[in-house]
Amino acid sequence: MNRLKDCLAALRDAGRKALIPYITAGDPHPGATVGIMHALVAAGADVIEVGVPFSDPMADGPVIQSACERALQHGTSMADVLDMITRFRADDAATPIVIMTYLNPVERIGHDAFAARARAAGVDGILAVDLSADEAPDVLPALTAQQLDPITLVAPTTSEQRMAQVCAHGAGFIYYVSLKGVTGADRIAVDELAGHVDSIRRHSDLPVAVGFGVRTPAIAAAVAEVADGVVVGSALVQEIARHRADETRMLEAVAQTLRSMREAMDAQTVEGEEDA
C-alpha cells in the first residue's frame, strides 16, 4: 500500500487538487498535535505535512520559527513526533503523512533506524529540507528500503540541469517553493507559476505541489489552477499561535481557515470544468 501515491492518483482521476496543510508537531504543546491533525482531515486535508521542530529552521519565516520554539520549549523530539503520528494512525489509517525535517535529527538517529521507525509509525513521505542532490545517494536508500517517498524541493532559482537531478531522486510529489525566500512571505507570483510548473513537468511525471506564500483562499484557488497540490503552512500556524490559550477555539480557527481554502479550490475546479 502506498497511501500517498494512491491518494494523489485518486484526486487526479476525480479532477481535484490536493490540499496539504503543514503544522509544527508539538505546537502549541505536544498534547494538541493529534487533535489538530484530525481537525485538518475533517476540514478537507488530503495529505498532512508534519514539521519536526528544529532549533535553526533556516527555510522558515518568523511564524514557523516561533512554532518551533514553542514546541522545543516542551522538549518535542523526533521520537515524540513519531509517537504522535502513531497515535493519529490509531484512528486514521488512510490520510497520507509527510514529515518535514532537517537532516540533523535524522542523522542523530541514523538513516536506517529513522526510516524503520518512521515507517512503523505510519509515515508515508519524508521531506528533508536541507538534503542536497549530492547528498541524496547517502540518504535515499534507507528511505526507499522502507517504502518512504522522498519528497524533493525545487525553487524558482533551480537551474534546468539541477532540476533534472533533483526530480530524478523524488517520489510522491515534487514540492515547488514558489518564493525566493522563507515560508510565510507576503507575496506569491501566481501569474508566474504556470511556467515554473511546466518546467518541472518536463523532468518528472510526479504531481507538483506548490507551497510558501499560500495565505488566502483566493491564492489557494489560483495555485490550484496550475498545480496538482497546494501546501498551506504559515496561515494555519498563525491561527494555532493566536488561539493557543483556548484549544477549542484554536481547533475551530484552524479548521475554518483550511475549510475556506478547500472550498475555494473546489469551486475553482468546478468553474474550470464549466469553462472547458
CATH of the domain at 36: 3.20.20.70
Selected catalytic residue, list 60, 149, 228, 239: 60
- Of 74, 26, 63, the closest CA to residue 238 belongs to 63
Residue 78 to residue 53: CA distance in whole angstroms: 8
| pLDDT given for residue 53 in this prediction | 94
Residue 82 to residue 119: CA distance in whole angstroms: 9
**At residue 54, what is the residue type?**
F
Residue 188 to residue 169: CA distance in whole angstroms: 26
Per-residue confidence at 156, pLDDT binned at 50, 70, 90?
confident
Residue 232 to residue 210: CA distance in whole angstroms: 9
**Average pLDDT for residues 56-74, to the nearest whole number?**
84
Residue 177 to residue 211: CA distance in whole angstroms: 6
Hey, how many other C-beta atoms are within 10 angstroms of the C-beta on 88? 23
Alpha helices in 90-178 (DSSP H): 103-109, 111-121, 136-145, 160-168
Higher pLDDT pick, 183 / 200: 200
Ramachandran region, residue 49 (left: φ > 0; alpha: ψ -120 to 50; beta: rest): beta
For 29, the domain range is: 3-275
Least confident of 39-53, 92-106, 127-141: 127-141
pTM of the predicted model as reported, rounded to 2 decimal places: 0.93
3-state secondary structure (DSSP) of residue 182? coil
b or e along 121-158 (b: 16 or more beta carbons within 10 Å of the residue's beta carbon)? bbbbbbbbbebebeebeebbebbeebebbbbbbbbbeb
Per-residue confidence at 188, pLDDT binned at 50, 70, 90?
low
Selected catalytic residue, list 6, 13, 27, 49: 49
For 204, list phi and psi in degrees, rounded to 5: -155, 145
Per-residue confidence at 275, pLDDT binned at 50, 70, 90?
low
Per-residue confidence at 184, pLDDT binned at 50, 70, 90?
very low
| pLDDT given for residue 57 in this prediction | 59
Active site residue 49: yes
Q: How many domains does the chain fold into?
A: 1
